[in-house]
Amino acid sequence: MASDAALRALNRFGLGARVGERARIGDARGWLRAQLQGAPPELAAPASAVPANIAAALRTLGMRAAYGEEERQQARRRLIGIADDESRAALTQRVASERPFVERLVAFWSNHLCVSAGAKRVVAPLAGGYERQVVRPHVLGRFEDMVLASARHPAMLFYLDNHQSIGPSSPAGTRTGRGVQRGLNENYARELLELHTLGVDGGYVQADVVELARILTGWTVAGLYGAGTRRPGRDDDAPGPLRFAFRPAQHEPGPKTLLGRRYPEAGVDEGEQAIRALCRHPSTATFVATKLVTHFVADQPPPAAVERVARVFRDSEGDLRAVSTALVELPEAWSEGARKFRTPQDWLVAALRALGVPGAGDNLARALRQLRHPLWSPAAPKGFGDTMQDWADPDALLNRAELARTLGRRIGGGGPDPRTLLDVVEAPAADAMRAMLADSTIAPAERIALAIAAPAFQWR
């Protein structure tokens, strides 16, 4: 029984068991709680991801007149290289981590407050840095600090267009002259309410969306446009790393009212206060708890478990270390019947861990694209889905079978004895696998593929 709890901890809360690992874990809950202690695991930036270089390459692409096609092509390749390096570094960390519970939490929050590399060219080279700078430092800290960091990060400001939302009555909004009157863009404000904090039924109306958009006008990005560019630089806009800037001239003046609370004119502080208030709203606790319980317990989250986690979230004012500990304590997460279908990223990372592969090779990103789950590239700001319904369609199972076979071929005779892979799946599910994995008339590489593609390996 103890070893089953260890397997549950490794697969459900962690990123997949390695062969022999379950025997080394005596106290499954203690093993998880220990991972939550201390500072969150850092991840070094890849050598190529120098912030000033990213900004410079983006500027080159944005200045058609100033650079030749050759230079622009180079800049494009540099940005793609940075995005690839970032994704390889993050996946390697997931495959190799000794604190897999915390890495799972990083992936969860990164998806909750997602940006999408696929949506805009400018987001792709920033998405890795976004996870490192926004999610990692706060994954065991306070929820509102994570959301605020996200609100100020260039990746998010670009992704949901807040960088170009301008107060209609601000100096920038009322300036007459060439071109079109510029004004509000509601995109980020709406998703901040609907997807990051309160949830769609959390008690806001369209007027709140507009008010929050007004509050957040002036929250933008500096560093992209320097002197001599298509859009002349401002004093605070010298070329350099992309960085958060608050521009009072774009901020909508006057008081605003969000969810019945009045915010007197206070420049950048309005946004900070509003975001903190949204994060402390009871609807946010329920919304976030529902997502967490769905992720760690079941596609249909048990209401009692949701309420327990929501209470810890409320009582601790969004202390994510306390909230994560509460997840470990949920009896529902350990019950026999409960199980989660692995997402494609989970499945591939678990396969590499089970097979003892040390890190993420270049093929991993391609495999994740084929499985429709590339890193930091959801189709919409809601992030990737988290339930069986989202991932277990027939075509996807066939895709996994094919990738498992490719993986088996690549590992070939250098992999583990296929029979040892029974150690990473739950025993009742493994009965049908036992004979097949021991059948020496089947090539070892194919038996490895069968273990990874087997239905028992699709669950955590």
Partner 1 sequence: MDRREFLKTMCSGGIATFGFPVVSFAQVRQSGRLVFVLLRGGFDGLAAVVPYGDPAYEGLRGPLAFQDGDLVPLTPIFGLAPGLAPLREFWDRGEMVALHAIAIPYRTRSHFDGQAILETGLDRPVGSSDGWLNRLLQIMPGERSGIAIASGMPRSMAGAHEVQTWSPTQLGAVTDEYLDRLAVLYRADGTLHNRFEAALQQQDLVGEEEMAGAGARRGGVTPLLKSAARILRQSTGPNVAAVEFSGWDTHANQGLGGGALDRLLGQLAEGLVAFRAEMQDAWADTTVVVMTEFGRTARPNGSRGTDHGTAGAGFLIGPKVARSAVLADWPGLGDSALYEGRDLRPTLDTRAVLKAAVAGTFDLTGAQADRIFPGSSGVRGRYELMR
* Interacting residues with partner 1 between 177 and 216 (CB under 8 A): 180-187, 190, 194, 200, 206, 209
Residue (67 or 459) nearer to partner 1, CB: 459
Interface stretch with partner 1, choices 86-94, 165-173, 272-280, 411-419 (CB under 8 A): 165-173
User: What's the CA gap between 161 and 181, in Å, rounded?
Assistant: 17
Q: Is 409 in the site for partner 1 (CB under 8 A)?
A: yes
- Asked if residues 460 and 339 have their Cβ atoms less than 8 Å apart, the reply is yes
Q: Is 434 in the site for partner 1 (CB under 8 A)?
A: no
User: What's the CA gap between 139 and 149, in Å, rounded?
Assistant: 12
CB 94 to partner 1: min, Å: 22
Interface stretch with partner 1, choices 8-16, 255-263, 308-316, 398-406 (CB under 8 A): 398-406
CB 368 to partner 1: min, Å: 13
Interface stretch with partner 1, choices 31-39, 236-244, 257-265, 441-449 (CB under 8 A): 441-449
> Angle between the 28-35 and 320-329 helix axes, to the nearest 10 degrees?
170
Residue (109 or 341) nearer to partner 1, CB: 341
- Asked if residues 425 and 456 have their Cβ atoms less than 8 Å apart, the reply is yes
Q: Is 432 in the site for partner 1 (CB under 8 A)?
A: yes
The answer for 240, left when phi > 0, alpha when psi is -120 to 50, beta otherwise, is left
Q: Is 401 in the site for partner 1 (CB under 8 A)?
A: yes
Distance spanning both ends of the chain, measured CA to CA: 17
CA atoms within 13 A on the CB side of 333: 29
Q: Is 166 in the site for partner 1 (CB under 8 A)?
A: yes
The two tokens of residue 428 are: 């009742």
Q: Is 446 in the site for partner 1 (CB under 8 A)?
A: yes
User: What's the CA gap between 269 and 309, in Å, rounded?
Assistant: 30
- Asked if residues 214 and 185 have their Cβ atoms less than 8 Å apart, the reply is no
Residue (54 or 403) nearer to partner 1, CB: 403
Choosing from 92, 164, 169, 229, the residue that interacts with partner 1 (CB under 8 A) is 164
User: What's the CA gap between 443 and 361, in Å, rounded?
Assistant: 24
SS3 208: helix
Tell me the CA distances in angstroms from 275 to 150, 189, 382, 401, 435, one per residue in order: 11, 10, 18, 44, 56
User: What's the CA gap between 220 and 442, in Å, rounded?
Assistant: 59
CB pairs under 8 A, 24+ apart, for 262-266?
263/215
Q: Is 454 in the site for partner 1 (CB under 8 A)?
A: yes
- Asked if residues 345 and 368 have their Cβ atoms less than 8 Å apart, the reply is yes
Residue (48 or 399) nearer to partner 1, CB: 399
> Angle between the 282-296 and 268-280 helix axes, to the nearest 10 degrees?
60
CB 28 to partner 1: min, Å: 25
- Asked if residues 222 and 202 have their Cβ atoms less than 8 Å apart, the reply is no
Q: Is 423 in the site for partner 1 (CB under 8 A)?
A: no
Residue (4 or 446) nearer to partner 1, CB: 446
Q: Is 171 in the site for partner 1 (CB under 8 A)?
A: no
Interface stretch with partner 1, choices 3-11, 28-36, 239-247, 384-392 (CB under 8 A): 384-392
Name which of 385, 349, 341 is nearest 368 in CA terms. Answer: 349
CB 18 to partner 1: min, Å: 22
The two tokens of residue 92 are: 């390697």
- Asked if residues 108 and 292 have their Cβ atoms less than 8 Å apart, the reply is yes
Amino acid at 435: A
Interface stretch with partner 1, choices 26-34, 130-138, 164-172, 255-263 (CB under 8 A): 164-172
Q: Is 393 in the site for partner 1 (CB under 8 A)?
A: yes
CB 164 to partner 1: min, Å: 5
Q: Is 65 in the site for partner 1 (CB under 8 A)?
A: no
CA angle, 140 as apex, 16 and 341 as ends, to 5°? 30
- Asked if residues 79 and 125 have their Cβ atoms less than 8 Å apart, the reply is yes
Residue (279 or 452) nearer to partner 1, CB: 452
SS3 210: helix
Size of the site for partner 1 (CB under 8 A): 57
Residue (21 or 186) nearer to partner 1, CB: 186
Residue (236 or 393) nearer to partner 1, CB: 393
Q: Is 398 in the site for partner 1 (CB under 8 A)?
A: yes
Q: Is 436 in the site for partner 1 (CB under 8 A)?
A: yes
Choosing from 397, 419, 420, 426, the residue that interacts with partner 1 (CB under 8 A) is 397
Interface stretch with partner 1, choices 59-67, 89-97, 375-383, 411-419 (CB under 8 A): 375-383
> Which chain residues interact with partner 1 by CB under 8 A?
160-161, 164-166, 168, 173, 180-187, 190, 194, 200, 206, 209, 370, 372, 379-380, 382, 385, 388-399, 401-402, 405-406, 409, 429, 431-433, 436, 442, 446, 449-450, 453-456, 458
